[in-house]
Every structure is written in C-alpha cells, then in structure tokens.
Structure 1
Amino acid sequence: MSEEAAWQSGGAVSAPPGSVRIVIVDDHSIVRQGLRSLLEREQDLEVVGEASTAAEAVAVVGRTRPEVVLLDLKLSSGEDTEGLALCERLTGEHEGLGVLVLTTFLDEKLVVDAVHRGARGYVVKDVDTTELVRAIRAVARKESAFDSRSAAAMVHSMNNRSTAPELTERELGVLRLMATGSSNRHVGGQLYISETTVKFHVRNIMRKLDASTRAEAVYEASKRGLI
C-alpha cells in the first residue's frame, strides 16, 4: 500500500525515527488537511492518521499508535462535546497517549472537564502555528500544554477558593505555574530555583495529590480548592 493509500484508509504511515507521531481527529476534512500541511513542515512531527468520527478515531489510534492525538470536541452536528467522551476512552485504552484538545470552544468548565477526561492540553483553533507546535511537543514529552486563553480559564476556575494546608507555599507556587502549562525550566526561572528543584517539587505535588500526570495534578488541585 502506498503512503497516500495508507493515509486515506487511516492506516499507519512510517514516521522518521524519533519523530512525534500524530493523529488528527476533526469532523471537517479541510481542517484536517490544513493541519497536516502545517505540521509536516516540522521535521520532528509526522501525521500518521486522521479521523472524522469517534469510531474512526478509536480504530485509527489503535492501528497507528501515535504519541499525540489532536482532538476537536465537536465531532458531529448534534453533540457539541462528543470529543470529551472520546478523550476519556482513548487515554483509558492507550497508556501514555497524549491528547491535545484543539477546538473552537472555550470556557472554564470545558477546559477542566477535558483535563479530567485525560487531556494533557487545550488550545483554541485560532492559535498561531508556533504555539500549536510548542503545545504538541510539550504533550509528547508528557507535559501539560495550554494556550494563553485556556490557561487563563483554568486559573480563573480556581480563583476565590480557600487554600488548604496540604501543600507548602513553594509547592503552591510551582502548581500555579504548572496550571499555565509552564515547563520545569520556565517554572524555575520564574521562582529563581533550579530545574532539579522544580522536578523535586513536581514529584511531591503529584504524590500528595495522587496524580499520575501534571495535568491531573492541576485538576485535582482545582477540585480541592488548593489554587
């Protein structure tokens, strides 16, 4: 089967060694084609499949085993957030899979719900290409990734909640920066501590919140009113 034929059937496409394998899930063909064209300009990114429905996505992800799924929340003319259930299924069935929500919808509840369902990041479709690529790479590294507006929505949803004494002040400072999708290096730069120290705090935060990912830690903290 040729690469083009494999693409059209949703089958696996051979990616260069070390590249980030991506599946695009969106119900609009022109959006999928545009994203593929943009992303494949990057030497370390390789789109290995696409899907327009939840059922297609489950099948394509099962065949291609990507590192990252770019997922729209609206996959049909009826349900506006069908992608949330799909996100939960994909992350539940494929350990280590990174889901990055790429959608036109933005409100606090959707951002928090997406993280709760397993998403590592959330960006709005009019984000610029540089920021989208940055988010994809962060998700592939198992970090969280939010654009400025979704990060603001996440942080705003945590406002006006009392701070429980479960985390130290330093850990809370690290956690607030994690909620914006900041890397360990950026957190260290903001707090004037080493990247190694940031990693130590992140591990403690995740342990205390019984979280397995940074995004899950942020979600758990928001539920408990920690930030």
Structure 2
Amino acid sequence: MDRRSPAESAPETATRVRIVLVDDHAIVRHGLRSVLEREGDLEVVGEAATAAEALTVVESAEPHIVLLDLKLSTGDNTEGLRLCGQLTERYPELGVLVLTTFLDGGLVVDAIHRGARGYVVKDVDTTELVRSIRAVARRESSFDSRSAAAMVQSMNAPSAEPGLTERELNVLRQLAHGLSNREIGGELFISETTVKFHVRNIMRKLGAASRAEAVYEASKLRLI
C-alpha cells in the first residue's frame, strides 16, 4: 500500500497541527516547542538538527508543518534550501515554513521556488509566528512584513542587462552560494559539462575573469 504524505494523513478539519522543528540549535528548538505548545491546536511531534535527521523525523512523525531554519550545521544557508526542496518534492502536501535570521529577498524567492509556503524572520513576535503556522496549515502562504517587502524588492529588481538567460541566472545564483560545478549540476539537474558551458557564458557576458568576479559584477547589477 502506498504511503501517504505527512500532510495527507490528517483530514482538512484536523484540530491539532503536527509540527516538526528543524534548527541546529537545541536551545532554539526547546524555546519554540515551549512557545508553540501553549497553543491548544499546535503540537510539536519531532525535532531535528540536520538535514539527514529532518528527513528521518518527517518520515516517522508525519507532520503537517515543518518549521525550517535555513542555516543548519554545515554553516551555510544552502543546506536548508536543499532540504526544503527535498521535503516538498517527497511530500507535496507538506507545509514548509522557513523561520530564519536571514532577511534577503533572493533567499525568500529561492525558498518559494523550492516549495516553501511561508517565510518569517526569527525575531517575529509569537502571535505572528502562530498566525503564519496556522495559515500554512490551511495551505495558504504567509510572510512577515519585512520578508514580503524584501521579496517584492528582489522581484522588482532590474532585469539582466547583460542578456543572461533564465538558466544562466539560475547557475549564477548557485555560484553566489559557493557551489562547485558538480554541486550546481545536482541542484539544477544538468550535467557538470553543461554547467561549465553556462559558467563560461556568464563570465563572458559579465566581462569577468573569474567566478568570484562574475558574482561581484552580478551583485552590482542586482542580478543576485
């Protein structure tokens, strides 16, 4: 018998929202659990500090919501983004709500592209956080005011003056996160050879002599 996704295991009218907390700091998870479980309709059913732990916990706990920090134990924000994509691909009905310290329009947009339904910063007040969790549980989107503003600013940024294609822009964003050609290929589901081709074109169009210079030039043009 096929296994249902975590969110599909509960009816639409469920009175308790099952939540898994993913954050590499135990004290943050404990604080969140204490705050959220004061709400009668919210229940923390699992915690994880790493992406690997999160995949295991979500599989067993079958939550409706994953509260996800982007910065996990590896020290960068790409692992959290990759985990977001993995979770939403495996469990399309699962609601991923990003809760992070990073306030960056590009990250907000990237998280949405990877299936997140909401994005809030960690200093948001408890009332707004709970409101966001309930909205995502209803399969709505939810963003705090600053995240929404950053996202709009990012989406309204000037279009690529050098004439970069959408694929080249995607590769450029991964370059900005410090990924290797092989890692970029894995993220975008293209071969390493194809990545090298796109990187050469990006450098040529931006007049850059290195990958780092390409990222710098792109940042000046507000492409990333």
In the superposition, the TM-score normalised over structure 2's length comes to 0.63
2:93 maps to 1:116 = no
Return the index of the structure with the highest Cα Rg.
Answer: 2
Residue equivalent to 1:32: 29
Alignment of 1:215-226 (within 5 A): none
Aligned CA-pair RMSD = 1.4
Query: Partner of 2:53: helix, strand, or coil?
Result: helix
Per the TM alignment, residue 137 of structure 1 is displaced from its structure 2 partner at its CA by: 0.3
Unaligned stretches of 5+ residues in structure 1: 1-16, 163-227
Per the TM alignment, residue 77 of structure 1 is displaced from its structure 2 partner at its CA by: 4.3
Alignment of 1:36-47 (within 5 A): 36-47=33-44
2:70 maps to 1:63 = no
Which of these residues, 155, 158, 161, is aligned with residue 155 of structure 2? Answer: 158
For the residues of structure 1 that align with 2:152 and 2:79, how far apart are their CA atoms? 24
Which of these residues, 92, 102, 107, is aligned with residue 104 of structure 2? Answer: 107
For the residues of structure 2 that align with 1:77 and 1:154, how far apart are their CA atoms? 25
Per the TM alignment, residue 160 of structure 1 is displaced from its structure 2 partner at its CA by: 5.9
For the residues of structure 1 that align with 2:86 and 2:155, how far apart are their CA atoms? 26
Runs (4+) of structure 1 exceeding 6 A deviation are none
For the residues of structure 2 that align with 1:142 and 1:43, how far apart are their CA atoms? 19
* Matched-pair identity in %: 75
Alignment of 1:106-185 (within 5 A): 106-159=103-156
1:119-142 deviation line (CA, Å, top 9, x unaligned) = 000000000000000000000000
For the residues of structure 1 that align with 2:35 and 2:87, how far apart are their CA atoms? 24
Query: Structure 1 pair 59/160, CA: closer, same or farther in 2 (3 Å)?
Result: closer
Aligned partner letter, 1:138: A
Aligned partner letter, 1:66: P
Aligned partner letter, 1:104: T
In the superposition, the TM-score normalised over structure 1's length comes to 0.62
Per the TM alignment, residue 161 of structure 1 is displaced from its structure 2 partner at its CA by: 6.6
Aligned length, in residue pairs: 146
2:99 maps to 1:94 = no
